[in-house]
Amino acid sequence: MRRVCLVFSRVKLCVGGQTFMTSTLTLTKDPDSMLAAMFSGRHALRQDDDGAYFIDRDAMHFRYVLNYLRDGGFRPGALPADQCFLAELCTEAEYYQLSGLTRIISERIRSLASEPVDLDASQGSSTSPAPGSLTSAAGPSTSRPQGSMSPAGRRLQRKVSAQITPK
C-alpha cells in the first residue's frame, strides 16, 4: 500500500470500471468529503497494477461529481432534467459526503417538481424546451415517460419535501 501525498499530483481512478484522471487538488477540494479523506495522505490506499485507485461506484454519475469538485457548481444546462437520474446522482453525492452537491441536486429536483408537465412534450411532440430550462444532450436517456418517477426518485422527492416543509 502506498500513502498518497497531498502534492498536486495526478490521480488515476477506476470508478465502476471506467478510468478517470484528476488531481489530488480536485479530490481534496471539499475537506469534509469522503474523497478528501481518502486522498488527504492520512490513509494508506491500495492501487491496482496499473496504478489506479478502484472505487466501486457508478461511473456514469462520477463525472458530475468530478465536475462539481473542479468547478464548485454547474452552469445552467449542465445537469440533466431527468428526476430519476438526479435522484441517483444525489445518492452518489451523499455517498461521497458532498453536502454542497447534494443541496444543488435537491434544489434542481424541487424546481423540476414545481414546473408544470407539458403533456405534448411527454408524448413526443417536437416542442422545444422553455427558455432557461435545464436540459442536456449528454444527459442519460431513459424510456421512462416524462413526469413519471422511479421509486428512488419518489423517495428522494419525499425527503427533499420534508426538508423544506416548515415545522
Tell me the per-residue pLDDT of 51-88, one tens digit each, with 9 for 90 and over: 999 999 999 999 999 999 999 999 888 999 999 999 99
Average model confidence (pLDDT) across the chain: 78
User: Residue 83 maps to which CATH number?
Assistant: 3.30.710.10
Is there a domain that residue 63 lies in? yes
How far apart CA 159 and CA 72 sit, in angstroms, is 24
Instruction: Give the range of the structural domain holding residue 23, as residue numbers without chain letter.
Output: 9-115+148-162
pTM, entire model = 0.66
Is there a domain that residue 153 lies in? yes
Residue showing cell 496504478: 51
Is there a domain that residue 122 lies in? no
**What's CA 142's distance to the chain center, in Å?**
17
Phi-psi region of 75 (alpha: psi -120 to 50; beta: other; left: phi over 0): beta
Is there a domain that residue 120 lies in? no
Is there a domain that residue 121 lies in? no
Confidence class for position 159, pLDDT limits 50, 70, 90: low
Is there a domain that residue 134 lies in? no
Domain count, the chain: 1
